[in-house]
Copies of this chain bind each other. A is one copy, B any other.
Amino acid sequence: MSGGASDLTGKHLVAGDELSPTGALFGGINALTGEHLGPDYGEADAATIGRACSAAGELAPMFAASEPAMRAKLLRAIADGILDLEDTLVERVMTETALPRARVEAERGRTVNQLRLFAGLVEEGSWVDAHIDHSVPDRAPVPKPDLRRMLVGLGPVVVFGASNFPLAYSVAGGDTASALAAGCPVIVKAHPAHPGTSELIGRVIKNALAAAGLPAGLFALVHGRTHDVGSELVKHPAVKAVGFTGSHQGGRALFDLAAARPEPIPVFAEMGSMNPVVVLPRALAERGEAIGEQLVGSAVLASGQFCTSPGLVLWIDGAGSEALLAKLRTGLTAAPSGPTVHPTIRTGYERTLTELEGLPLEAHVSTAPTESPTAVCPRLLTTDATALQDNPRLRTEIYGPAVVAVRCRDAAELLASVKSLTGHLTATVQGDLQDLRDHADVVAVLRDRVGRLIQNGVPTGVEVCSAMVHGGPYPAATDVRFSAVGPTAIQRWARPVCWQDWAAELLPAELREDNPRGIRRTIDGELVSG
């Protein structure tokens, strides 16, 4: 097999060239033992970044106008290439992130499925949302021109790999797949928590471009641990959009840089969330213990390293509340410690918990052993509605397996508590139909603050499908109008272009009268099947 872990080089992949790391070097680490893993990677310098962005910029108009079939072929070749890596990839991911095999294989499946989903989307072609308004030459007082519009890729996209999903939100993850599908060149900033995994996938993309006969400059993979690399990428004038999944601090910094450019560009930063869970009275009375068990399972999954981990649970004290609280306490404190994907995640978790000291809450902590440099222990932090409302820090994500439990005295306190929340990716309501009717005000407030509302489930588990919304009001994401998951994620990287009275022979195929691509179009205001 080509491109195996033994072939890792530590080099930046830029416009077909391989550039050796320079400056301060860093390597991957074994996330269970802390052991250093070769090869060494380095900080991409300004020249490297400049080459990657300029090459992407020069190719962007061509790629935006490229044959969709060619882009679909590329995406499928990337998917196939990922599978061809077989255990070389799975094992490198497991070593670099401490994620178990089943999870890594499932995430690989999701990644491959996402690439194929976008291949299918561009092959089918209707995503360009073609509109044709025919001319009316004899309209008074002025003739109506012929107008045709469709979406095209908006130019080079910088994608920041996420630490917690080394495949599905990383080098060939959803951002890259949707950007390439739209016809946008992609420059990936590898996450330093899994540089070897990133290089393996980066080489798959490089090889897939070559096999498809496409220019190497359509993709670049650069490394770095400092903010400088990301900052240089976002500020480069050839870059036209940014995709990011990670911390609030990181996402906001990139958003601010992008907004301050001479030419501001769109940033879709998905920055995590507390994913509040509200347990309503009838559900609490009937299923308090079961809900507690379900919540503990969701909260400790992957050591709480999901954007959708439930980090906040609220209820009105009453029948069932002691059972729920007891289950949360015993479940979380009895849970073993679990590994995070990198020692920096453990450090961040512990730092956040230290920041919480002194706030009016009671901590219930698992005391499982944490010899591994990445191990973290779940914990339950109980508090009340007044404390939640008075302390913004309690309403802010704790990245890791911690749950803040808020006991409210009555419905008014519950409503005031949810009103105090900012934007989140999801909110979950545990309740039957009567509960939802009795607390319609709470539900309305939650709907106003999230991208996805869940009844009687858990927020973890983000289905990749057309109805999914993975995003939400700030600070869940920096643009509430888009989703990072599902086929509509492509809309983040496309812009409408209109051709007026344009020569029929020179229109894009999607807009020609005879509809050679057979796509669905809106013609004179009516949707017409392909």
Checking B436, B451, B502 against A498 with a beta-carbon cut-off of 8 angstroms, the contacting residue is B451
Whether A147 lies near B444 (C-beta < 8 A) is: no
User: How many A residues touch B, CB cutoff 8 Å?
Assistant: 81
Residues 490-503 of chain A: 1 if any B CB is under 8 Å from the residue's CB, otherwise 0? 01101111111111
Checking B60, B65, B149 against A469 with a beta-carbon cut-off of 8 angstroms, the contacting residue is B149
Nearest CB of B to A513, in Å: 13
Nearest CB of B to A330, in Å: 25
CA distance A236 to B323 in the complex (A): 43
Closest 4 CB pairs of A and B: A259-B259, A469-B498, A147-B467, A131-B467
Q: A133-B466, A451-B496, A497-B452 given as contacts; is B491 within 8 A of A481 (CB)?
A: yes
Counting every copy of the chain, the complex holds 2
Asked if A9 is an interface residue, CB under 8 A from chain B, the answer is no
Nearest CB of B to A273, in Å: 14
Q: Which of A259, A452, A496 neighbours the largest number of chain B CB atoms within 10 Å of its CB?
A: A496
Checking B266, B422, B423, B491 against A479 with a beta-carbon cut-off of 8 angstroms, the contacting residue is B266
Whether B61 lies near A263 (C-beta < 8 A) is: no
Give the residues in chain B near A145, CB-CB below 8 Å: 454, 457, 461, 463
Asked if A165 is an interface residue, CB under 8 A from chain B, the answer is no
Q: Which residue of B lies closest to A62 (CB)?
A: B444
CA distance A69 to B481 in the complex (A): 24
Q: Which residue of B lies closest to A506 (CB)?
A: B436
Checking B133, B255, B260, B505 against A467 with a beta-carbon cut-off of 8 angstroms, the contacting residue is B133
Give the residues in chain B near A469, CB-CB below 8 Å: 149, 496-498
* 29 A-B residue pairs with CB within 8 Å: A60-B448, A61-B444, A62-B444, A64-B448, A65-B447, A131-B466, A133-B466, A133-B467, A133-B468, A145-B457, A148-B467, A149-B467, A149-B469, A155-B448, A240-B480, A256-B259, A259-B260, A433-B505, A450-B497, A451-B498, A453-B497, A453-B499, A465-B525, A469-B496, A469-B498, A471-B496, A473-B495, A483-B496, A488-B496
Q: Which residues of A contact B (CB under 8 A)?
A: 60-62, 64-65, 106, 131-133, 141-142, 144-145, 147-149, 154-155, 240, 255-256, 259-260, 263-266, 422-423, 433, 436-437, 443-445, 447-448, 450-457, 461, 463, 465-469, 471, 473-475, 478-483, 488, 491-492, 494-503, 505-506, 520, 522, 525, 527
Q: Which residue of B lies closest to A256 (CB)?
A: B259
Q: Which of A263, A436, A498 neighbours the largest number of chain B CB atoms within 10 Å of its CB?
A: A498
Whether A480 lies near B154 (C-beta < 8 A) is: yes
Give the residues in chain B near A147, CB-CB below 8 Å: 463, 465, 467-468
Q: Which residue of B lies closest to A130 (CB)?
A: B467
Give the residues in chain B near A450, CB-CB below 8 Å: 497
Checking B133, B478, B494 against A481 with a beta-carbon cut-off of 8 angstroms, the contacting residue is B494
Checking B443, B448, B495 against A480 with a beta-carbon cut-off of 8 angstroms, the contacting residue is B495
Give the residues in chain B near A452, CB-CB below 8 Å: 497-500
Give the residues in chain B near A149, CB-CB below 8 Å: 466-469
Checking B133, B443, B474 against A463 with a beta-carbon cut-off of 8 angstroms, the contacting residue is B133
CA distance A133 to B471 in the complex (A): 18
Whether A478 lies near B264 (C-beta < 8 A) is: yes
Whether B444 lies near A65 (C-beta < 8 A) is: yes
CA distance A65 to B444 in the complex (A): 9
Whether B527 lies near A520 (C-beta < 8 A) is: yes
Give the residues in chain B near A264, CB-CB below 8 Å: 255, 259, 474, 478
Nearest CB of B to A386, in Å: 22
